[in-house]
Amino acid sequence: MPKLIKLHDGHAAFANDAYMTVTDEDATPASGGVILPLARYRIEGAALLDEGRNVGVLLQPDEAIEELSDDLTRLSVVALSFPKFRDGRAYTSARLLRERFGFGGEIRAVGDVLREQASFFIRCGFDAFEPADGSTPEQWMAAANRFRHVYQRGADDRKPAFVERIS
Amino acid sequence: MYRYDYIDRAFVEDRAAEFRGQVARRLAGEITEDQFKPLRLMNGLYLQLHAYMLRVSIPYGTLTPNQLRKLAWIARTYDKGYGHFTTRQNIQFHWIKLKDVPDILGHLADVEMHALQTSGNCIRNVTSDPRAGASADEIEDPRIWSEIIRQWAAIHPEFSFLPRKFKIAVTATAHDRTAARLHDIGLLMRKGRDGGVGFEVIVGGGMGRTPYVGPTIRDVLPAEHLLSYLEAVLRVYNRHGRRDNIYKARIKILVAQLGAEEFARQVEAEWAQIDHPAIDAPQAEVDRVRAAFAPPAFEAVTGRSDAFEAAKAASSSLARFARNNVHLHKQPGYAIVDISLKAPGETPGDATAEQMELVADLAERFSLGELRVTHEQNLVLPHVKLDDVAAVHAALAGAGLASANINLVSDIIACPGLDYCALANARAIPIAQDIALRFAAADQAENIGELKIKISGCINACGHHHVGHIGILGVDKKGEEFYQLSLGGSAAEDAEVGKILGPAIPADKVTDAVDHLVGVYLRERHAGERFIDTYRRVGLVPFKEAVYAEAH
């Protein structure tokens, strides 16, 4: 299992994963936080939330983030899957979660998650990562901070160049 | 011209440093070629048939003399002494060693250049009118908005892993020299009713194996909302573009499948939800970039140059050069001078280090320090005083750069083809050379007039064969190079995809076939008609009969 890196106030650190990611075949664990695929969340999610469990949803790239728009206030994690690093759909999902739906919970990148993508993840609003390449938090943040300036507004708080220039 | 400020400089330095680290990890064996590939592609580095190829971005085709000198120096120091200008206003070096690339990127950064996003499934170099800032009928300099787009697209956090590559062209005159309707997004500047600047937005044009002339999805977009609107288009594409099949992944397929109206509706719905002020370049930034493209310091001279007229009268070669390569400038007494990189028998788009240095010197002395690259693989001195044209011509002639064939039969676009490219099915360069040599007689070429021949070595269409008046596509027939001809394409404002003439023909018959096509045109043409006009009037049949007559 990849180790979980979490971002907090611009600092990254390994974190214990308080969630069990349940695949389609697994039984749902009796206690603790769970991250469910969308289809299973539809069936089991409400009951688990009513029990007071922490619940997250794992979305595949072809599953629209709007599917969760009514559930976001109750979800503590949205995990976005990268079956291949080349599949960039989840970057849009993350930005929409933060910027359009105001989601304040954890957005986790899972799957083919590589250090070279660190800045893209963070700029789109991800704050938890399961690196597939064994990156340490130090390596992760070094990659994320390679550029002193950015040119466009993302879901992070970096100022685009056109703001830096007039401030 | 736009010059980098501290932010732009830091950005390209950081990019070079990042790639230096990535190359070091590759050379040390810490990452595999598979893992390295996407990283090098983001820096314009391809692995071709014989060596690495580095594609350097020339944003909107604008160069300073010092930038061109640096490209010449790179060609001499790290390559075989030449470079190849491409159909997207970039330059490629075909014989690069991996270990040198970080240094090359560093040298490019020194002159405010980069190779960022010249490959990969991201937003590529923004192309624009090579006559920007010099055309009388332009609404405003399209490079202002091209530069704003260039910055917005640079390592965009959301749009760097698109289904496929993404190309944007911007133009601001009625005559389109950017092939805007054949881009993923074409932006045609329009004057709004309120006097403000706007864009007609075309989405989903393209070439490749499924060519489309792009439909207009918005008649006038106020320019100040350009970035938020682009963000909406890219977002719809990033979410819904196909990713299961590389040949169906360009935005043109999505637009065609949804229909232009439905695609436009989705874009407008997305755009309505975007926080425009957060994304759009603020007025202060637009003003800053606009100021950078303020007209250069033209001298007040009369519109007629007695020296130029006398020199033309004395030299038929200068007169011919003036007829074909020298164009009207917005400023009285100035001209736009095209430099052909299509000397018959040479490789289209290639320039040696010495030629680049000469052109850089000419730009400095005679063109107010500016030069341009065209998508037709030529160079331009955009601001030459008529008084100086004869001196420019003489200097070009001494370097083999005075071919007076702009827009003529030998001004051929050709991709690198099987001589370099791993994707090609057939060679393109020797075909171009052979045709150009057949029509090397200048009087004959001028008599034939405007004729755009475009050659691609495979269906990816880097040589734009779909939109050639005569298009030539290399195909592989049981291991032999064959060529499929098409007629009637256009990349201009009357954009059209050409029609296939008939069965593919062997390499040694291609030039004869072009000769037959030209013969039909000369026989059928009415006064004032170009090849394309005659074709449009008489249709495919007489041309087809002439080319395939022998087979019957």
Instruction: Please write the tens of the pLDDT for every residue from B210-237.
Output: 999 999 999 999 999 999 999 999 999 9
Note whether B144 and B290 are within 8 A (CB).
yes
Average pLDDT over residues B109-113: 96
Residue B472's DSSP bridge partners are: B455, B485
Interface of B with A in 338-367 (CB under 8 A): none
Residue after which a domain boundary falls, among B267, B292, B317: B292
Residue B151 has pLDDT above 70, yes or no: yes
Number of domains in chain B: 4
* Tokens coding A161: 């160049």
> Is B523 a domain residue?
yes
Among A152, A153, A158, A165, most B C-beta atoms within 10 A, so best to mutate, is A152
CB contact under 8 A, A91 and B282: no
Residue B475 has pLDDT above 60, yes or no: yes
Tokens 């439909």 found at: B215
Query: Which of B74, B84, B80 shows the shortest CA–CA distance to B106?
Result: B74
Tokens 């190309």 found at: B167
Average pLDDT over residues B116-129: 95
Give CA–CA dist B283/A52, Å, rounded: 50
B344: CB partners within 8 A, 6+ apart: B403, B405, B410, B433, B436, B437, B439, B440
One-letter amino acid at A17 equals D
Closest chain B residue to A164, measured at CA: B7
Q: Are B272 and B178 found together in one domain?
A: yes
* Tokens coding B168: 């944007």
Q: What pTM did the predictor assign?
A: 0.96
Note whether B296 and B375 are within 8 A (CB).
no
Contacts 24+ apart (CB under 8 A), B79-85: B81/B352, B81/B353, B82/B350, B82/B351, B82/B352, B82/B353, B83/B350, B83/B351, B83/B353, B83/B356, B84/B347, B84/B349, B84/B350, B84/B416, B85/B341, B85/B349, B85/B350, B85/B351, B85/B373, B85/B377, B85/B378, B85/B379
Among A153, A156, A166, most B C-beta atoms within 10 A, so best to mutate, is A153
Note whether B109 and B145 are within 8 A (CB).
no
DSSP secondary structure code for residue B507 in this structure? G
> Is B61 a domain residue?
yes
Residue B96 has pLDDT above 70, yes or no: yes
| Residue B39 forms contact with A (CB below 8 Å) | yes
Tell me the residue range of the domain where B65 lies: 6-110
pLDDT at site B6: 97
Q: Are B287 and B377 found together in one domain?
A: no
Query: Which of B462, B498, B465 shows the shortest CA–CA distance to B165?
Result: B462
End-to-end C-alpha distance for chain B, whole angstroms: 58
| Residue B15 forms contact with A (CB below 8 Å) | yes
One-letter amino acid at A20 equals M
Q: Which of B8, B22, B158 sits opposite A91 (nearest CB)?
A: B158
Q: Are B144 and B64 found together in one domain?
A: no
> Is B124 a domain residue?
no
Average pLDDT over residues B82-110: 95
pLDDT band at B39 (very low <50, low <70, confident <90, very high): confident
Q: Which of B158, B227, B284 sits opposite A95 (nearest CB)?
A: B158
CB contact under 8 A, B235 and A92: yes
pLDDT at site A167: 81
Residues in chain A with CB shorter than 8 Å from the CB of B160 are 88, 91, 120
Q: Mind listing the pLDDT tens digit for each residue in A49-76? A: 999 999 999 999 999 999 999 999 999 9
Q: What angle do the packed helices B429-438 and B510-524 form, to 10 degrees?
A: 40
* Tokens coding B50: 């014989």
pLDDT band at B192 (very low <50, low <70, confident <90, very high): confident
* Tokens coding B401: 């750069």
Tell me the domain boundaries of chain A: 4-164
Q: Are B279 and B316 found together in one domain?
A: no
CB contact under 8 A, A153 and B282: no
CATH number, residue B68: 3.90.480.20
Q: Are B145 and B283 found together in one domain?
A: yes
CB contact under 8 A, B161 and A88: yes
> Is B417 a domain residue?
no
> Is B120 a domain residue?
no
Tokens 């054949």 found at: B182
Give CA–CA dist A154/B460, Å, rounded: 33
CB contact under 8 A, B155 and A92: no
Q: Mind listing the pLDDT tens digit for each residue in A112-148? A: 999 999 999 999 999 999 999 999 999 999 999 999 9
| Residue B154 forms contact with A (CB below 8 Å) | yes
Average pLDDT over residues B140-167: 97
Q: Are B377 and B288 found together in one domain?
A: no
Closest chain A residue to B232, measured at CA: A92
Burial class (CB in 10 A: 0-12, 13-18, 19+), A16: exposed
Q: Are B142 and B222 found together in one domain?
A: yes
Q: What is the mean pLDDT of chain B?
A: 96
B268: CB partners within 8 A, 6+ apart: B218, B232
Percent of chain B with pLDDT over 90: 93
CATH number, residue B251: 3.30.413.10
pLDDT band at B552 (very low <50, low <70, confident <90, very high): low
Q: Which of B15, B156, B273 sits opposite A152 (nearest CB)?
A: B156
Residue A110 has pLDDT above 80, yes or no: yes
> Is B1 a domain residue?
no
Give CA–CA dist A135/A132, Å, rounded: 8
CB contact under 8 A, A85 and B161: yes
Give CA–CA dist B114/B481, Å, rounded: 36
Q: Are B42 and B144 found together in one domain?
A: no
The Cα of B9 is separated from the nearest Cα of chain A by a number of Å equal to 10
Residue B551 has pLDDT above 90, yes or no: no
Q: Residue B174: which H helix or E strand, with range?
A: none
Average pLDDT over residues B256-267: 98
| Residue A88 forms contact with B (CB below 8 Å) | yes
Q: What is the mean pLDDT of chain A?
A: 95
| Residue A101 forms contact with B (CB below 8 Å) | no
Q: Mind listing the pLDDT tens digit for each residue in B303-334? A: 999 999 999 999 999 999 999 999 999 999 99
| Residue B125 forms contact with A (CB below 8 Å) | no
CB contact under 8 A, A146 and B14: yes
CB contact under 8 A, A88 and B275: no
Among B11, B161, B233, B276, most A C-beta atoms within 10 A, so best to mutate, is B161
Average pLDDT over residues B89-98: 94
pLDDT at site B31: 85
DSSP secondary structure code for residue B396 in this structure? H
> Is B337 a domain residue?
yes
Q: Which CATH number is A4-164 given?
A: 3.20.20.70
Give CA–CA dist A119/A122, Å, rounded: 5
Q: Are B455 and B517 found together in one domain?
A: yes
| Residue A99 forms contact with B (CB below 8 Å) | yes
Give CA–CA dist B171/B188, Å, rounded: 5
Q: Are B204 and B259 found together in one domain?
A: yes
* Tokens coding B211: 């060519």
Give CA–CA dist B216/B132, Å, rounded: 23
Q: Are B164 and B195 found together in one domain?
A: yes
Residue A103 has pLDDT above 90, yes or no: yes
Q: Which of B38, B151, B158 sits opposite A151 (nearest CB)?
A: B151
Strands B45-47 and B499-500: unpaired
pLDDT at site B478: 92
Q: Are B83 and B213 found together in one domain?
A: no
Residue B523: Cβ within 10 Å count: 11
pLDDT band at B10 (very low <50, low <70, confident <90, very high): very high
Note whether B214 and B202 are within 8 A (CB).
yes
> Is B413 a domain residue?
no
Per the document, the length of chain B is: 552
A–B interface: beta-carbon pairs under 8 A: 96
Query: Which of B428, B281, B271, B403 shows the shortest CA–CA distance to B342?
Result: B403
Q: Mind listing the pLDDT tens digit for each residue in B484-506? A: 999 999 999 999 999 999 999 99
What value, to the nearest 5°, has the Cα angle with vertex A95 and ends A89 and A100?
Answer: 125
List Cα–Cα distances, B495 to B6, B32, B463, in angstroms: 41, 44, 16
| Residue B4 forms contact with A (CB below 8 Å) | no
Residue B337 has pLDDT above 80, yes or no: yes
Q: Which of A64, A149, A154 sits opposite B157 (nearest CB)?
A: A154
Note whether B279 and B231 are within 8 A (CB).
yes
Residue B335 has pLDDT above 80, yes or no: yes
